[in-house]
Structure 1
Amino acid sequence: MTMKLEDKHIGIGSLLEEGQQYLGKKYQANGKPVANGRDEVSVKQEANGKCGMPRKSLNVYSWQEIQKHNQETDQWLVINRKVYDVTSWANRHPGGRRILNHYAGEDATDVFRAMHLDLDFVKLYLKPLLIGELAPEEPSQERNKSPQLVKDFQELRRTLEAMNMFTANPVFFFLHFVQILILEILAWLMVWYFGTGWLVTIFISFLLTISQGLSTTWWNNRHLQHHVKTNVYPKDPDIDMGALFLLGELQPVKYGKMKIKYINYEKQHLYFYILGLPLLVPVYFNLESIQLMCFQRCWRDIAWVSSFYIRHFITFGPFYGIFGTILLIYFIKLIESPWITFITQMSHIPMKMSKEENRDWLSTQVLATCNVEQSFFNDWSTGHLNFQIEHHLFPTMPHHNYHKVEPLVRALCAQHGLQYVKKPMFEAFGDIARALKKSAALWMDAYYETGSRVSTSTHM
């Protein structure tokens, strides 16, 4: 049976039914599913491997014991009921040591599957780290998580894999490359033909807002943390804006009670437009990127970022000179910064921010993330990142498949009572400022209430 995923009017029930057929599910006469071979294996048998296959016995651990190993110098985690000591491996982890620490003492099955595309390759690194397995009487996840929700999400993942939703379409990425090439050539031709006047410079700057020139190591270390613990304070670096902005409900109250006022947070929703929008990329992102490359001596990144600047100097240096080309590059970044800021912040700042609650993978992402409505412009201008929920649930999935899996994700959320938030783009933009204003009000209440109490106690 061939699935026609391109048909947007296909019913969600049909999609789920066909997806289940990919998994080889059998049904009884009463319509209830018969457990497949994987489900028939008991927890004890699953923990000990396939039936009838002798192997070396492993130590068994309870969740209570595993959860004690959640420190930076002592990190255990669980993947598919197997217990791994990743303490010694953390500093060599390609995604950065902090990601492993974020899941120390927890079940990391779904995040492990979400963040790694080639599991067979990655599992080679897991073998030497294996120290045991969950005791047969222990559930596969921590007791605070819903086993049915976790099971249903993992079933959805297997369905999408069977539907080839993790297979990239080369044409899609080739067209994006051609788009970049055409815009850069067009920008050069305009300068060559019309000169370097202000109108021409402004116009080509908009054309060239297509590449960043940032360290990939910096981006991975930062962005992967954001993905694995979205909106979890202080594990998600994207919600730590230093002294400039207070986000969510917890941080403003904390700062207020501690009488911290680095800046007038009452106006943060206003200076977001003055400082946050234009300076995020050319100042904040660039300085962090340069700092990491230099301090960690990331020579490959240095070479890559240098090639970005060299290409611009070769292309536009003859027209603008060295100093003029530098100004052009940062003018381009100044123009692209507001759009990138809106796109990256609209789906998270207005959503739930919390301390570590050790939720399941689906709940963690859906509660902290929202989507923006689909349209040709929204898809093209955001690189399909208007589907942030799907992007966070399946970060290795090619972007062009997000809209195809959205109905399945929505159905699963509805089944488990999770609110799936989807907004018009400009409403999402406005919600950033509204969320900042709400956080500022919480800070003001805590700040001035603390102040009044201190004043009263002083007079007493």
Structure 2
Amino acid sequence: MTTDNLVHPAPPGASTDYARLSRRIGEAGLLARRPGYYAARVTLVAALFSTGWVAFALLGASWWQLAVAVFQAVMFGQIALLSHDLAHRQVFRTRRPSEIAGRIAGNLGIGMSYGWWMDKHTRHHANPNHEELDPDVDPDILVWSKGQARASRGLPRFIGRYQAFLFFPLLTLEGLNLHWSGIRAVRKPGLKRRGLEAALLFTHFAVYLGALLIVLTPLQALVFFAVHQGLWGVYMGSIFAPNHKGMPTLTGKPELDFLRKQVLTSRNVRGNRFVDVALGGLNYQVEHHLFPSMPSPHLRRAQPIVEAYCAEKGIPYTQTGLFDSYRQALRHLHEASAPIREDSRSGHR
């Protein structure tokens, strides 16, 4: 499904379809909390993260530190995935402990504003792939539809011509973009607990940059920073790119009920336990969007229930392999930017 827009009105009775599916999921016990699982996961990730920095301190000014940079890029991604689960209250039922743990993991742990990201991600879940309402398809750097391509100006128009080829290279800057977005968020009024968010963010930056400059030579510090932040950005982009990119986009006020809006704009990625861990369960994107507070280890079990129910209702359910999901996303980026290339060939600006 690679069409630009999706304007299929919901059939009669569609308003109750999600309620019926939700009952099936609830009866299967898949909405229950998993405190033991998350206690073990948090402990393991924290231990590995700490071990990485202990190795960093022991290695000293050595080029073997690049191996630590690669390892910590993966750990930053795993901490970001834990922050994601905390934001959706998959770990704690109530808001306060979720926010405390989320700020420790996000702001202090990896330098990503928990409050900024939660606001952005909540708006994405409410209107996935909606060109006017989903911040994840804003045409700030890339264009996601032919309509956005025709209206593009400046940097998106310049990059858009070859955006499919530049997509993964640009992901090397995603880690820096997450840092900068957090800094911008705490500089503006409106962010909840803005002072606390700012203090935790800048503590992270001070400790991180200070450690690099104290332990490594200036050149080693620069290379470590580039490798670590670049690979973290690629990892983050590789987690989220398969989920919606290349799926139909929405505009205006489409007549879609909740179930169809979430299923038709999301894509699942088939895989094994390794894929589940690497993508944090977000390879079950359809199920996650339908039940965002469902603990991530339950998503695998929910998948066949949701797929069977969609088949009953005649709702297209998209699932593909990991590499094919990237291929579809890149093909969509290339197709979406076609108007820019056409204008270039015809001499229009």
Shorter-chain TM-score bucket reads 0.7 to 0.9
Mark the runs of 5 or more structure 1 residues left unpaired by the alignment: 1-143, 455-460
What is the distance in 2 between the residues matched to 1:450 and 1:327?
41
Q: CA deviation at 1:393?
A: 1.0
Q: Does structure 2 retain, via aligned residues, the 8 Å contact 1:343–1:382?
A: yes
Which of structures 1 and 2 has the larger relative contact order (alpha carbons within 8 angstroms, sep 6+)?
2
Note closer, same or farther for the CA distance 1:325–1:305 as it changes in structure 2 (3 Å cut).
farther
TM-score (norm 1): 0.60
Of residues 161, 170, 174 in structure 2, which corresponds to 1:280? Answer: 174
**1:266 is aligned to 2:161:** yes
Distance change >3 Å, CA 214–CA 330, structure 1 → 2 = farther
1:160–1:450 distance in 2 versus 1, CA, 3 Å: farther
2:68 maps to what in 1? 204
Matches within 5 A, 1:2-151: 145-151=10-16
TM-score in terms of structure 2 length: 0.77
Of stretches 226-235 and 259-268 in structure 1, the one that deviates more from structure 2 is 259-268
Counterpart-to-counterpart distance in 1, 2:29 and 2:178: 35
Q: 2:186 aligns with which of 263, 268, 293?
A: 293
CA distance in 1, matches of 2:210, 2:279: 29
Percent of counterpart pairs with the same letter? 21
Name 2:34's counterpart in structure 1. Answer: 169
The aligned residue for residue 337 of structure 1 is 233
The superposition leaves residues 39-68 of structure 1 with CA deviations (integer Å, 9 ceiling, x where unpaired) of xxxxxxxxxxxxxxxxxxxxxxxxxxxxxx
RMSD: 2.9
Q: Deviations over 1:261-308 (max 9, x none)?
A: 74053211112233x2101221x2222211011112611212332343
Query: What SS does the aligned partner of 2:161 have?
Result: helix
The partner residue of 1:219 within 109, 114, 117 is 117
Code of the aligned partner of 1:277:
L
Say if 1:188 and 1:315, in contact at 8 Å, map to a contact too: no
Larger radius of gyration: 1
**What residue in structure 1 maps to residue 25 of structure 2?**
160
Q: Which moved more, 1:219-228 or 1:295-304?
A: 295-304
- The answer to whether the Cα contact below 8 Å between 2:310 and 2:316 also exists between their aligned partners in 1 is yes
Higher-helix-fraction structure? 2
Q: Deviations over 1:297-341 (max 9, x none)?
A: 611212332343455468666523899768745642211111211
Partners of 1:373 and 1:425 within 8 A in 2: yes
Q: Is the 8 A contact 2:287 2:302 kept in 1?
A: yes
Query: For residues 235 and 323 of structure 1, do their structure 2 counterparts lie closer, same or farther at Cα, with a shift above 3 Å needed?
Result: farther
Distance in 2, matches of 1:237 and 1:148, equals: 30
CA distance in 2, matches of 1:322, 1:299: 32
Bigger CA drift: 325-334 or 382-391? 325-334
Q: 1:392 aligns with which of 278, 285, 289?
A: 289
SS of the equivalent of 1:359 reads: coil
Report what 1:187 is aligned to: 52
Which residue of the partner structure matches residue 349 of structure 1? 245
| Cα separation, 1, equivalents of 2:265 and 2:251 | 12
The secondary structure found in structure 2 opposite 1:263 is helix
- For residue 175 of structure 2, what is the amino acid of its counterpart? V
Count matched residues. Answer: 303
Distance 1:233 1:291, change over 3 A: same
User: What secondary structure, in the 3-state scheme, does the structure 1 residue paired with 2:173 have?
Assistant: helix
Matches within 5 A, 1:377-388: 377-388=274-285
Q: Structure 1 residues 320 and 261 mapped into 2: Cα distance closer, same or farther (>3 Å)?
A: closer
Matches within 5 A, 1:226-237: 226-237=124-135
Counterpart residue identity of residue 268, structure 2: N
Q: Is the Cα contact below 8 Å between 2:131 and 2:249 reproduced in 1?
A: yes
Tell me the residue number matched to 1:308. Answer: 204
User: In structure 1, what is the Cα distance between the partners aligned to 2:347 and 2:222?
Assistant: 48
